Structure 1
């Protein structure tokens, strides 16, 4: 919440200072991501007496995201709140079968950025995350475990990124880091199907790396998106 308060204070300062003319932009975006989650420690003794524990590290799969943004440009500084739908995917290579981990969330990043040199910008800011579906193949509800993974449904994270602009298009490479680590959790997994029984999902701090393409649909600079297809030099370019 401190990060959000600081961002709001920065917005108020930029608006009230009157140092910059303002331009407003609305656009849409879509892209791909990779996600980092925790190791799973299989309790070997839950399968056979004397069997040693075994640790399985998650493998990355490609998730996707799409959404919309509203941007206020103050010459070389911009504010950019977004609303995105995000899917996250990983898997574990268990002895008998691959177990897929998946999650989806609605996120609201609140970003502030600065144009370094044309066409490059840097930005940072907090994000509010509202998780929906979270699942790991093979997890059972038993007397040992109530299912899972049971991560918090409402979380916050911090975003850092770099953006390259071309006409109305923006290519965005972003790193997202959770502000709080998850708690270690006991899972009961279907042993006959996956070769793992009782297992500990280790504590981890969520991390996501994403690459997105954005396009400005509406701008208050008097240009239209159709101007991109003209050959008269009026391309509607912000840069």
Structure 2
């Protein structure tokens, strides 16, 4: 009888800690802005209508994997993101590839929370509706963070996150008479719908 109980406990324990692996696609909207303008007073002299960045909506899409043990999981993603910021005198457009690596935990039924570093690679940055060009950013790859919560409903998932920056990553004006720059690292809210395949 003891052997049967021990075997049952071992099987239950194995089932509890059995690793699960999932893959899927995701996409959605993001709402936020890139950082402030460096040397703002100099920029204001060249462009009287200039303001510090105001949030605009963008979008993202990509793939994800999820590796779980019991209620704890790691979720790496590969996501293409387009973000735009309104600086009054012009819009600053940013295209980037994000690689967040999130540690999460299922806390109550379908609800989970997650957080972790987010690696950003900028593929393109440009000025729209402006009279000057912007240089490439100082660093093609930077590290920020994401944190948020999600709900899984079968194969569908809904996710809300905040993304922030650890450091600035400036792109400078190429043609304005004064040397000012724009911090390209965004602060944004991310709203995603995912499908596990």
Name the TM-score class by shorter chain.
Answer: 0.7 to 0.9
Alpha carbons of structure 1 residues 213 and 108: separation in structure 2 relative to 1, 3 Å: same
Q: Distance in 1 between matches of 2:32 and 2:140?
A: 17
Task: Tell me the number of residue pairs that the alignment of Structure 1 and Structure 2 aligns.
Answer: 179
Alpha-carbon contact 1:37-1:204 (below 8 Å) kept:
yes
TM-score by length of 1: 0.66
1:76 and 2:71 aligned: yes
**What are the equivalent positions in structure 2 for 1:1-239 lying under 5 Å apart?**
20-40=17-37, 41=40, 43=42, 56-94=51-89, 99-137=90-128, 138=130, 140=132, 147-148=134-135, 150-183=137-170, 185=172, 188-189=175-176, 198=178, 200-201=180-181, 206-217=186-197
**Structure 2, unaligned runs of 5 or more:** 1-13
Higher strand share: 2
Alpha-carbon contact 2:33-2:83 (below 8 Å) kept:
no
The alignment yields a C-alpha RMSD, in angstroms, of: 2.6
Alpha carbons of structure 1 residues 204 and 154: separation in structure 2 relative to 1, 3 Å: closer
Cα displacement (A) at 1:204: 7.6
Q: Distance in 1 between matches of 2:131 and 2:117?
A: 32
Cα displacement (A) at 1:182: 3.0
Cα displacement (A) at 1:210: 0.5
Alpha-carbon contact 1:89-1:102 (below 8 Å) kept:
yes
Partner of 2:3: none
**Structure 1, unaligned runs of 5 or more:** 1-17, 48-52, 142-146, 190-196, 218-239
Alpha-carbon contact 1:136-1:148 (below 8 Å) kept:
no
Q: Distance in 2 between matches of 1:46 and 1:208?
A: 28
Partner of 1:8: none
TM-score by length of 2: 0.78
Q: Distance in 2 between matches of 1:204 and 1:104?
A: 10
Partner of 1:6: none
